[in-house]
Structure 1
Amino acid sequence: MSQPNRHETVIRVRYQETDQMGVVHHSNYAVWFEVGRTALIQEIGISYGELERRGILLPVVDLHCRFNLPARYEEEVRIVTRIREMRGPKITFSYEVRRLTDDVLLARGETIHLWTDREMKRFNLEHREPELFRKLQTLHQPSEE
């Protein structure tokens, strides 16, 4: 379920995502962030694949994750994704991973990306793709922190 300015994606923890301690391995959170991010962008009617066909790339240049509690095998988790900042060639997404059954915050994170062309040259999305920028702005939610 999604609400204005955010997208929510529900996934069930798979066995291969857990480690020897029976909890989700930390590396999977980056994958879950990508799942949330691609679903959020899809809400404006464009896929990552379409962006790439148009010569628009969105490489990750920074990733942070703060772990509060572990997610475990077969639990359902909700990935809440927001656009926190859009400025020049940069876009920042924020994420919360919450246990679905009780809405407990398991992890919180952020990824920073740059809009680039195929040669990895940065560009300002608002100037190069004003329609796409306007659509993304409808999902933008400034930081409350």
Structure 2
Amino acid sequence: MTQEEKQTELRWYGAPLRVRYQESDQMGVVYHANYLNWFEIGRTEMIRQAGFNYRSMEERGVLLPVIEINAKYVSPARYDDLITIYTAITDFSRLRLNYTYEVRRVTAEDHKSQIGKVWTQADTLPGELLVTGVTRHVWVSTEWKPVRLDQVLPDLYTALWSAMTGGEGEKA
């Protein structure tokens, strides 16, 4: 399988969450900006599942700021819903990283089995689709200068490549 084909085969990582009261309005509907926070939870947990965390990245001098966000609202989440934030890397290079997200309302059974599980494109993600989104990021130093991740944190570069591809193919 070529690198291009491999990058189109998404590997989804799940982060379960119960909608909290503070995230909803008086009608019990989740306020739209909370989905952006949930995207952050999704990518943070995905990196954690790859064996890293944001704190260690930052302590080692690498930041990953958001440079673009898109979200499409399909159906509202409501207070006390069980949801899962599914996150996948859709584009990855030495300088940039793009994530895609699907926020889905799930059953109690699906909610219990989310952590550590990886879904591929051949799998159907559980639950009712609520929101889709994309965030684009650039790797920078603590001085906000662009950096090549493969040079400054090669172990993170390898871990993210493996998270995206399942460890197959040549690195971008």
TM-score, normalised to structure 1, is 0.89
Aligned to 1:6, the other structure's residue is in SS state strand
Instruction: Return the alpha-carbon distance in structure 2 between the equivalents of residues 57 and 90 of structure 1.
Output: 11
Which amino acid counterpart does residue 96 of structure 1 have in structure 2?
A: E
- The answer as to 2:53 corresponding to 1:47 is yes
Matched, 1:30 2:30: no
Unaligned runs of 5+ in 2: 1-9, 108-125, 166-172
Larger helix percent: 2
Q: Identify unmatched segments of 5+ residues in structure 1.
A: none
Q: Distance in 1 between matches of 2:68 and 2:26?
A: 28
Select which of 85, 90, 93 maps to 2:96: 90
Q: What is the deviation of 1:125?
A: 1.1
- Identity rate of aligned residues, in percent? 41
Matched, 1:6 2:12: yes
Residue aligning to 1:133? 157
Deviations 1:14-38 (A, max 9, x none): 1110123321001100110111100
Partner AA of 1:63 in structure 2:
I
User: Conserved in 2, the CA contact under 8 Å of 1:95 and 1:109?
Assistant: yes
Corresponding residue of 1:72: 78
Q: 1:104 aligns with which of 128, 149, 164?
A: 128
- Residue number in structure 1 paired with 2:142: 118
With the length of structure 2 as denominator, give the TM-score of the two structures: 0.76
Alpha-carbon distance in structure 1 between the residues aligned to 2:163 and 2:81? 28
Task: Return the letter of the residue paired with 1:69.
Answer: S
- CA distance in structure 2 between the partners assigned to 1:131 and 1:6 by the alignment: 21
Distance 2:132 2:50 in 1: 24
Q: What code does the residue aligned with 1:105 have?
A: L
Q: Secondary structure at the match of 2:51?
A: coil
- How many equivalent pairs are there? 138
Determine which structure has greater relative contact order: mean sequence separation of CA pairs < 8 Å that are 6+ residues apart, divided by chain length. Answer: 2
| Aligned-residue CA RMSD (Å) | 1.5
